[in-house]
Structure 1
Amino acid sequence: MKPPLLKIGTWTLGVAVAIAGLCAVVWALNVRGEAPIPAEAPPFAPTAQQVEHGAYLARAGNCVACHTARGGVAYAGGRGIETPFGTVFSSNLTPDDATGLGRWSAAHFWRAMHHGRSMDGRLLYPAFPYTDYTLVTREDSDALFAYLRSLPPVVQARPPHVLRFPYDTQAALAVWRALYFEPARFEADAAQPAEWNRGAYLVRGLGHCSACHTSRNAWGAGELSLELGGGLIPVQNWYAPSLLSADEAGVAEWATQEVVDLLKTGRSARGSVMGPMAEVVLRSTQHLSDADLRAMAVFLQSLPQRPARPREASTAYVAASPTSRGGKLYEQHCAQCHGAAGEGAPGLYPPLAGNRAVTMDSAANLVRIVHGGGYLPATAGNPRPFGMPPFAHVLDEADTAAVVSYVRGAWGNDAPPVTPLEVLRLRPGALR
């Protein structure tokens, strides 16, 4: 009987060695590039210019949006960020010693930005987009820290995250990071002008545009091969359109000033923003300098574009008759603003005929706007924007599907229809 026991023991030992080796690899991947934090940090004495620059960077990163609870003090954290794995609560960025950044050093803050690790060594969840912030320079990290340290301290502990097992464990997060995160630095492209590089730095780093505009896999990691290629924002069910497609949000054919106008005011001659992007313009991009907005525009216009798909009539698309259910609902609820032929009203209501926000393959945003309304941000360049009221209290899933399908197929539009089940699945909070 001894030989079988010996075999079992050898197999068990082999498994144990393999597990230990795997754990060592995961550990090594999670600490790569990290430098030890000095036990005694030198005094942090920022200049007024550094604080001012940090305030600008905080707006560029739209930090206040996530780190402010509804009705709460700015930057004091506590906002719940819903994910497919549960709810993550944002941390307190004010300099309170007990609940905020008061005991942090600039090196601790840099490690959080660059490596996704808290002061106590705990791994941070990527709802805090350190996967993008890792490109931020140490100089900008220190300026941002200087600004946050200048804020009045607020005593507000972060609520505990509410995540399902095993996503609530550091071990699972360590494995995720080993698979999907590698610290990086922004490397300027010597073949591109300084303006392009500045735009790339803002878009890919502090602006963390890929956090929304890139699709994610089942584990919540961005598909790097499809960076800025569009994606459905989990739980919110808004679709962040592709910046690489002329059919969605590509701006290669726009005038540069039109892109600047969109980011600064929320609207331009070629389009307008709603949904999560409206909040980005409201809290972030409208406050950026014209030089930085132009740099971002130049970079976005340089992105490789997939050609627009041919627009051909197809029997697969809805027969958009004005006498159909969707046509009648459109006449009753929509035509007074958007026009009988979907022509809109210049400067007031967007046209629906030929509008790529209407004809994108994803109907998510159109469903969300019909259901919950659509509102442009109030900006200095457009202080009293027109908006669209919600129709959820008037239209059920079947009605919404009918009117959305009509709009997507009328006046030469050629997008496929939407079913009531799709409408139900695209409502906020529904997981696909």
Structure 2
Amino acid sequence: MRSCSRILAVWLLLFAGSSAEAQPKPGSDAGSLVARGEYLARAGDCIACHTAPEGRTFAGGRAMPTPFGTLYSSNITPDRDTGIGKWTAEDFYKAMHYGRFPDGGLMYPAMPFASYTKVTRADTEAIFAYLKSIPPVNQRNREHDLRFPYSNRQLILGWRTLYFSEGEFKPDPTKSAEWNRGAYLVEGLGHCGMCHSPINALGGTSQSDAFKGGLIPMQNWYAPSLTSNREAGLGDWSIKDITDLLQTGVSMRGVVYGPMAEVVHNSLQYLNDEDTRAMAVYLKSIAEPSPPTPPSSTLPTSESSLLISLGKTVYDKHCASCHGTQGEGKPPHWPPLANNQSIEMQSAVNPIRMVLNGGYPPGTKGNPMPYGMPPFAGLLSDNEIAAVVSYIRTAWGNRGTPVSAREANELRSAPLN
């Protein structure tokens, strides 16, 4: 759910002492609040939701399907009639920090104020200064299309009681300045937990489940756990591999596709080296050891054996030329499939979708012409899709489990973004 925009001039941000606020690099224009705000808006990926496909930048109107109905993002250009042109810096801070409109009305939590509440006032004011500097667009906000009773905003009070803890980021004095900067970006502006945490039937996530992975509602992509080394936990990755993935979308350990590719394209590739490294340090630190034994297959043994046998045939014919006969790949452009966390996860949604729909990593300044994977939905049957995914999840020492043709069929009609 992200869209393209212009490249930002990179401004270095420093994290020093107990403050998580962004500061211009010594020697740069210390009064360039707008430039700093533009950088921070990139870090927060504001353009992703507030720009509709083919729409004007930050003019809103992007449809955001949810299990409760469809929300439409708001116009955050400085137009006085339809945007935030009449807002004050205090109004904007209340929106970011408390999730409330200037009149006190409650915002739906699709606006990630549960994460943005951690953003410092100084950084919030910089973002506001940037948004006030962009061209105003006169475009009225669309009414949300939510089912009853979710259309009653007062119900948000209950959600906030359960899932919202207001408060700016507090550095951990036992950790380094770099670690704290990374935590500030990941937990706050980056709002990584919005996707990488399980979401329950009420659209909330308990604090104890933060970053533990989950299916992204209505998108049919699985955002892997950032804490489990069986999934996307980065505990055994090098800092370089992590920073490469964040900045370019490809590394020697893996490649990003789907919604994460859009995050890299629109946001992460524009962060400076210091901030990217800080995020990597923090992400690496929250990885936890995981049980080595995967869940047992739900398919009968005989069916699994037949699938995997067919899968090897399909793999050798269509996949081995890029990914290698032993799944070794040709990194960074053709990722290895052997000992690949994204292949072995409990959820097989992502590998099934990649075989069905193919895709490209993001085009970034560090990797402007990415290699892609072709779609096989029109070439392979459900049985063949299930077979080849089952094969790569169990071959070469991989510890995944087989998948069924029914699972492949269910994802054939999934939206592509």
TM-score (structure 2 length as normaliser): 0.87
Specify the code of the residue in structure 1 equivalent to 2:349.
A
From 155, 167, 180, the equivalent of 1:197 is 180
SS in 2 for 1:87: strand
SS in 1 for 2:32: helix
Count, aligned residues: 384
- Residues in 1 aligned to 2:186 and 2:67: alpha-carbon distance in whole angstroms: 25
**Cα RMSD after superposing both structures:** 2.2
In the other structure, the counterpart of 1:157 is 140
In the other structure, the counterpart of 1:408 is 393
Q: Please list, as runs of the form range in 1=range in 2, the aligned pairs for 1:274-423 lying within 5 A after superposition.
A: 274-307=257-290, 309-310=292-293, 324-423=309-408
- Residues in 2 aligned to 1:106 and 1:268: alpha-carbon distance in whole angstroms: 40
Q: Which has the higher contact order (CA 8 A, sep 6+)?
A: 2
In the other structure, the counterpart of 2:79 is 96
SS in 2 for 1:81: strand
Structure 1 pair 313/228, CA: closer, same or farther in 2 (3 Å)? closer
In the other structure, the counterpart of 2:26 is none
Q: Please list, as runs of the form range in 1=range in 2, the aligned pairs for 1:9-408 lying within 5 A after superposition.
A: 49-307=32-290, 309-310=292-293, 324-408=309-393
Identity %: 52
Specify the code of the residue in structure 2 equivalent to 1:231.
G
SS in 2 for 1:297: helix
Residue 325 (structure 1) shift: 2.7
Structure 2: gaps (5+ residues): 1-29
- Residues in 2 aligned to 1:411 and 1:367: alpha-carbon distance in whole angstroms: 18
- Residues in 2 aligned to 1:294 and 1:330: alpha-carbon distance in whole angstroms: 36
**Cα deviation digits, residues 341-363 of structure 1 (max 9, x gap):** 32222333112122111111110
Residue 156 (structure 1) shift: 1.2
**Cα deviation digits, residues 316-354 of structure 1 (max 9, x gap):** 597567983323322332222222332222333112122
Structure 1 pair 305/427, CA: closer, same or farther in 2 (3 Å)? farther
- Residues in 1 aligned to 2:379 and 2:157: alpha-carbon distance in whole angstroms: 47
- Residues in 1 aligned to 2:342 and 2:304: alpha-carbon distance in whole angstroms: 20
Residues 51 and 147 of structure 1 are in contact (CA less than 8 Å); yes or no, is this contact kept in structure 2?
Answer: yes
**Cα deviation digits, residues 53-72 of structure 1 (max 9, x gap):** 10000100011111110011
Structure 1 pair 380/400, CA: closer, same or farther in 2 (3 Å)? same
Which range is displaced more, 290-299 or 367-376?
367-376
SS in 2 for 1:394: coil
Specify the code of the residue in structure 2 equivalent to 1:55.
E
SS in 2 for 1:267: coil
Residues 377 and 412 of structure 2 are in contact (CA less than 8 Å); yes or no, is this contact kept in structure 1?
Answer: no
Residues 320 and 409 of structure 1 are in contact (CA less than 8 Å); yes or no, is this contact kept in structure 2?
Answer: no
Residue 121 (structure 1) shift: 2.4
Structure 1 pair 176/293, CA: closer, same or farther in 2 (3 Å)? same
Structure 1 pair 322/224, CA: closer, same or farther in 2 (3 Å)? closer
Specify the code of the residue in structure 1 equivalent to 2:317.
Q
**Cα deviation digits, residues 97-150 of structure 1 (max 9, x gap):** 111111111111111101111123221111111110011111111100000000
Residues 320 and 327 of structure 1 are in contact (CA less than 8 Å); yes or no, is this contact kept in structure 2?
Answer: no
Specify the code of the residue in structure 1 equivalent to 2:234.
V
Residue 403 (structure 1) shift: 1.8
- Residues in 1 aligned to 2:413 and 2:78: alpha-carbon distance in whole angstroms: 34
Q: Larger radius of gyration, structure 1 or 2?
A: 1
Specify the code of the residue in structure 2 equivalent to 1:56.
Y
Residue 267 (structure 1) shift: 1.4
Residues 245 and 308 of structure 1 are in contact (CA less than 8 Å); yes or no, is this contact kept in structure 2?
Answer: no
- Residues in 2 aligned to 1:316 and 1:266: alpha-carbon distance in whole angstroms: 37
- Residues in 1 aligned to 2:403 and 2:296: alpha-carbon distance in whole angstroms: 17
TM-score (structure 1 length as normaliser): 0.84
